């Protein structure tokens, strides 16, 4: 029988639980209930046994670094989610939105290659199982207002504020002329 490991850690915005296969994170969210995350997984993973661990190694370390201010800490953390081709493209696209920046659902659809598929892009956010590693919290309404987030708008606001406060300014290079 396949086994998935899970761990919950305290964060400044509340408990964060991750579920991992040997290769990647398969679920994550602001909850202490791994069963609620496990039940949302694709069918093959739903039958896997859950095994609690104190830490999930690199996954837990990266999360700690993110909450300490290193907003790129989980950029290279592998994730696996199962969906159709467009949903999977949306999830990959979400990971390309820089920390501290937001896009609208319309912009997300265009970035994912289907500008007319705004509702499908929004579904990609709603069905994202690896929050906040796949940062659906960086997507806002057309008017810039916060729209739904599975773990509540207060958590979404906290994440966006955290990223804005810890964002590294983009370097501006000045061209100099030598005499």
Task: Show which residues are catalytic.
Answer: 136
CA dihedral 27, 2, 90, 72 (to 10 degrees): 50
What is the distance between the alpha carbons of residues 132 and 158, in angstroms, rounded to a whole number? 12
Alpha carbon of residue 175 to chain centroid: 37
**62: preceding bond cis by omega (within 30 degrees):** no
What lies within 8 Å, CB to CB, of 127 at 6+ separation is: 83, 87
């Amino acid at each position: 029988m396949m086994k998935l490991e899970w761990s919950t850690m305290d964060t400044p915005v509340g408990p964060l639980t991750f579920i991992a296969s040997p290769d990647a994170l398969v679920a994550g969210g602001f909850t202490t209930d791994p069963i609620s995350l496990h039940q949302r997984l694709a069918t093959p993973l739903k039958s896997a046994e859950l095994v609690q661990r104190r830490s999930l190694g690199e996954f837990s370390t990266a999360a700690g670094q993110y909450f300490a201010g290193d907003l790129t800490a989980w950029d290279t953390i592998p994730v696996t989610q199962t969906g159709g081709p467009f949903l999977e493209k949306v999830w990959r696209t979400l990971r390309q939105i820089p920390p501290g920046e937001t896009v609208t659902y319309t912009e997300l659809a265009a970035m994912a290659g289907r500008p007319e598929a705004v509702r499908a892009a929004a579904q990609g956010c709603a069905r994202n199982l690896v929050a906040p590693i796949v940062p659906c919290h960086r997507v806002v309404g057309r008017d810039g207002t916060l729209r739904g987030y599975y773990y509540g708008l207060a958590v979404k606001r906290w994440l966006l504020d955290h990223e804005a406060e810890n964002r590294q300014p983009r370097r501006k290079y000045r061209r100099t002329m030598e005499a």
